[in-house]
Amino acid sequence: MRRVDCDPNFWYPVAWSRKVRPGKAFAARYAGHPIALIRPEHGPVYALEDRCAHRQVPLSKGVVDEEGCVKCCYHGWAFDRQGKCVTVPYLNREGVGRPVRAYPCREKDGLIFIFPGDAALADHVPVPDVAQVGNPEFKTRTFSPRLKCHYTFMHENLMDMNHQFLHRRQMGSITARFLGQDEGEGFLEARYSFARKGGNQPLAEALIFGRHHDLQGREQPVEEVVSIRTTYPYQTLKIHDKDGDLIMDLWACYLPLGEAQQVTQAFGLLSVKKPKWAFLLDLAWPALGLFTHRIFEEDREIVEMEQNAWRELGGDHNVEVFPVVRKLRALLAASGVPNKAVLPVA
């Protein structure tokens, strides 16, 4: 499974919108393919292969002209949004320069997506809905860490809530109870509830869940339901309170950077329902960021160690006992495509 690549026939986020400024080009990457994102002063952003058709210099180093074309920094060949070479300045004749590949490109919810596969399919595949961006009842934070591991480790790590032991210093002692699962074409969902066995509830967590005390002030079991779903190739974690209302919504996509797909750029958005006094959430926002960052760093260390062991041993020699993770592996293996990397590179 760690040699299965992401299926390129989906929309993948490759950059945050705010990073690609008007009149500028930006270098991104999908599975070893360099991508130039170009945002003209007017009109939508577009994506080209980030290699000039002349001498393969990155177009992302070029300049964006008034027509919205990108001009290579070396000899000034200009390419339009279809990748057609429209000018070779020193020849001044149509049709001399060869084109570069253009990728279907969309912008949504603060992310720029490209469709790296068969462009003819792009219109038939939906651009995903991303957390609760744009929903005024939620406040959303974004993060995009780079991880030295195959994307499949990320799916497993989030889906498998039985590793709360790892996070005991951040969350205190809580245990997950598996409530059930759902599966279907291209998706798998696992649901859990959590019970606190000891330690105090962290403040940031209390803000999301609220505190749970009985009339005597004793802490009560948490009744929220946490649902983690891999809807290939994306993943979500949603928390519903005991009335069934959504209170937290995490969306993530794991973008493979290298050809062997062993380096991953995660794009994540975490939406938290605003409490009645919304400023409380604003006040707690930095603490919440630190809390989620610490948890994430613990997960990062783990998935990178898993990847290292895989590399040293040349495969997974482990015993997976949790049926949900076994199902997730089957889903990821069946949904992806065989890796074609010839070099032992990341």
DSSP for 312-334, please give it: HHTS-------HHHHHHHHHHHH
Q: Which listed option, Fe ion, ligand FES, none, makes contact with residue 28 (CB within 5 to 8 Å by class)? A: none
Q: Which listed option, Fe ion, ligand FES, none, makes contact with residue 72 (CB within 5 to 8 Å by class)? A: ligand FES
> CB–CB of 184/339 below 8 Å?
no
CB of 163 to ligand FES, least distance (A): 49
Reading phi first (left if > 0) and then psi (alpha if -120 to 50, else beta), residue 142 is in: beta
Structure tokens at 154: 């990320």
CB of 322 to ligand FES, least distance (A): 52
Q: Is residue 156 a contact residue for Fe ion (CB under 5 A)?
A: no
The burial of 117, by beta-carbon neighbours within 10 Å (0-12 exposed, 13-18 middle, 19 or more buried), is given as buried
Task: For residue 256, give the 3-state DSSP assignment.
Answer: strand
- Identify which of residues 16 and 74 has a Cβ nearer to ligand FES in the complex: 74
Contact residues for ligand FES, defined by CB under 6 A:
52, 54-55, 57, 72, 74-77
CB of 183 to ligand FES, least distance (A): 49
Of 156, 224, 259, 299, the one binding Fe ion by CB under 5 A:
299
Q: Which listed option, Fe ion, ligand FES, none, makes contact with residue 77 (CB within 5 to 8 Å by class)? A: ligand FES
Distances from the Cα of 139 to the Cα of 62, 133, 248, 269, angstroms: 36, 8, 10, 10
Within positions 174 to 213, which residues make up the interface with Fe ion, using CB under 5 A? none
Q: Which listed option, Fe ion, ligand FES, none, makes contact with residue 299 (CB within 5 to 8 Å by class)? A: Fe ion
Q: Which listed option, ligand FES, Fe ion, none, makes contact with residue 37 (CB within 5 to 8 Å by class)? A: none
- Identify which of residues 189 and 299 has a Cβ nearer to Fe ion in the complex: 299
CB of 157 to Fe ion, least distance (A): 6
> CB–CB of 58/52 below 8 Å?
yes
- 25-57 core/surface letters (b: 16 or more CB in 10 A; e: else): bbebbbbbbbbbbbbbeeeebbbbbbbbbbeeb
Residues of this chain that bind Fe ion (CB under 5 A): 299
